[in-house]
Amino acid sequence: MHTTKINQTVFIHDGDYGGDVEIRTGGGNITMPFLDLKGFIADYVRNKRIGKLESDEDDDKILGI
């Protein structure tokens, strides 16, 4: 098992990020499947990227040229 600390939150997980992740905070602990956590984060990143594309008015920026 590996431990990753970000600010005051501790994540206990497998080295390959498979299986469950235990999340320890000052308010309590939760254990959840890593795939659920990964999906949640991917949804956040997806929405940020969509927002950036929608707010870019310059064609060259959108096309990366």
Q: Who's near 19: CB < 8 A, 6+ residues apart?
A: 13, 33, 34
CB atoms within 10 A of CB 21: 20
Condensed to tens digits (0 to 9), the pLDDT of residues 40-53 reads 999 999 999 999 88
Q: Could you tell me which of 7, 55, 15, 57 has the C-alpha nearest to residue 34? A: 15
The pTM for the full model equals 0.75
- Averages of pLDDT over runs of 10 residues in the chain (65 residues) are 96 94 96 97 96 85 82
